[in-house]
């Protein structure tokens, strides 16, 4: 069979793509940027799929199309409506026209009863696929855990905090499923002769949100947690501050509604019981690398906020709080002539504030961090060669540039694993 896996760079899509490649079928990835994908792929861009005039021809010849595209939070370029409803429906119609034999659609648990935009947009695509007359499998996974999973990473980071925050009292019920069981379900759905398959994908056991975090903390080898209850509004604000898209109003609402279903239909389909988190994840202690990752998870957004504040405060102090004659004296020491000094002082202060604000906003952050290293590096070299006595200052105004540059470099590396 020739199988197209759309969304092959995401957590679930990449897992499906790599898993199916182990078999004898011909597997092709559908991705937005084919140049950045090293293996056989075609361009399938959900952000503009309804404008793709070649979509049907791209799908022609495939026996199975797997749609694993999904977003957990909206961005400026990706809305729930576009990514979960408009583009999938366009894809389904094109699959029918291209005579694709079967469509495997990764939906979400609770779409029919969910009240969030996430669930409603997913459900509209599900309903359209049911009505088209194609052979299909609609899979409704609960929270999927595994290496590289965003929710898994978040739970690890939360569990590693000195005070572990709970949404409300932490009694919300979840039923996470291992990525491996989802992959086995997809493979069996592809191979099945059934024309219609619809399954809830859940693990063997349900647990409360608090029990989940307790399990992760024990897995990390940490002492029993001290919990602090955070109201829903406070959780949403914290998610914004920490640049954590998984902590959004919709996701908190879905958490509070619970995320469970009977495991029996999936058990019957797979002919085995899906593993629980205790069996799959918590049965083996975390590695040192996993412990390090968990402990640094919230260092990334905190570093960004602190570095941004340093730039903003430096600009404010230089322009408005520090005695201007002393500030101008420093400029004179490095060769700035009188007449240009005041203008340069205010320009540099304004630039510092702008850099700080953009850092907190995470605007083109990698480029911005490189600019910061360049600015601090040039500033440090100028003072070193033109006013080297500042290295001997007891408060270390130049010396402190070194840990700041290291912090910026560390943030650049952490951002790559976001």
Q: In the prediction, which pLDDT does 245 show?
A: 67
Which of 115, 141, 167 terminates a domain? The answer is 141
Domain total of the chain: 2
Let me know if residue 352 belongs to a domain. Answer: yes
Residue 222 lies in a domain: no
In this predicted structure, what is the pLDDT of residue 186?
A: 98
> Which of 141, 161, 182 marks a domain boundary?
141
Determine the structural domain holding residue 405 and report its residue range. 301-415
Q: Residues 132-145: what's their mean pLDDT? A: 96
Residue-wise pLDDT tens digits, 124-137: 999 999 999 999 99
The lowest-confidence range among 123-132, 145-154, 204-213, 344-353 is 145-154
What are the φ and ψ backbone dihedral angles of 290, each rounded to 5 degrees? -65, -40
Last residue of a domain, one of 141, 161, 185: 141
User: Which strands make up the sheet holding 41-43, listed edge to edge?
Assistant: 41-43, 26-31, 2-6, 64-67, 102-106, 135-141, 196-201
Within a domain: residue 268? Answer: no
State the Cα–Cα distance between residues 194 and 380, nearest whole angstrom.
69
Q: Is residue 361 part of a domain?
A: yes
Structure confidence by residue, pLDDT tens digits, 296-352: 888 988 999 999 999 999 999 999 999 999 889 888 988 889 889 899 999 999 999
Calpha distance 173→24 (Å, rounded):
39
Let me know if residue 39 belongs to a domain. yes
User: Rounded to an integer, what distance in angstroms lies between the CA atom of residue 211 and that of residue 208?
Assistant: 5
Residue 105, domain CATH? 3.40.50.720
| Residue 169 placed within a domain | no
For the stretch 21-64, pLDDT in tens is: 999 999 999 999 999 898 999 999 999 999 999 999 999 999 99
Query: What per-residue confidence (pLDDT) applies to 234?
Result: 61
């Amino acid at each position: 069979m020739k199988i197209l896996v759309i969304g092959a760079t995401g957590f679930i899509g990449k897992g499906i793509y790599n898993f199916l490649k182990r078999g004898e079928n011909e597997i092709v990835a559908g991705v937005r940027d084919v140049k950045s994908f090293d293996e056989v792929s075609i361009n399938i861009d959900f952000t503009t799929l309804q404008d793709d005039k070649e979509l049907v021809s791209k799908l022609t010849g495939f026996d199975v199309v797997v749609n694993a595209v999904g977003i957990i939070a909206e961005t400026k370029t990706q809305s729930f409506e576009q990514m979960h409803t408009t583009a999938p429906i366009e894809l389904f119609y094109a699959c029918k026209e291209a005579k694709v034999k079967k469509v495997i659609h990764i939906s979400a648990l609770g779409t029919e009863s969910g009240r969030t935009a996430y669930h409603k947009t997913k459900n509209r695509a599900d309903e359209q696929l049911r009505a088209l007359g194609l052979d299909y499998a609609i899979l409704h996974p609960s929270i999927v855990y595994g290496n590289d999973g965003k929710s898994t990473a978040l739970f690890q980071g939360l569990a590693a905090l000195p005070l572990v925050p709970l949404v409300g009292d932490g009694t919300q019920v979840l039923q996470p499923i291992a990525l491996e069981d989802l992959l086995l379900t997809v493979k069996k759905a592809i191979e099945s002769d059934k024309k219609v398959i619809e399954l809830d994908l859940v693990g063997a056991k349900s647990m409360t949100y608090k029990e989940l975090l307790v399990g992760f903390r024990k897995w990390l080898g940490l002492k029993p947690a001290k919990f602090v209850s955070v109201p829903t509004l406070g959780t949403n604000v914290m998610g914004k501050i920490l640049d954590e898209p998984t902590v959004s109003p919709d996701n908190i609402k879905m958490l509070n509604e619970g995320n469970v279903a009977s495991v029996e239909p999936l058990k019957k389909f797979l002919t085995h019981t899906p593993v629980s988190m205790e069996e799959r994840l918590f049965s083996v202690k975390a590695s040192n690398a996993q412990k390090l990752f968990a402990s640094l998870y919230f260092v990334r957004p905190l570093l960004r906020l602190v570095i941004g504040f340093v730039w903003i405060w430096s600009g404010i102090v230089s322009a408005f709080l520090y005695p201007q004659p002393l500030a101008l004296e420093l400029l004179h020491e490095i060769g700035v002539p009188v007449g240009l000094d005041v203008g340069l002082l205010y320009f540099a202060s304004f630039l510092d504030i702008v850099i700080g604000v953009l850092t907190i906003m995470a605007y083109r952050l990698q480029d911005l961090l490189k600019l910061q290293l360049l600015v601090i590096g040039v500033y440090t070299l100028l003072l070193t060669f033109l006013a080297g006595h500042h290295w001997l200052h007891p408060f270390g105004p130049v010396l402190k540039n070194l840990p700041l540059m290291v912090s910026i470099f560390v943030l650049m590396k952490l951002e790559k694993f976001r």
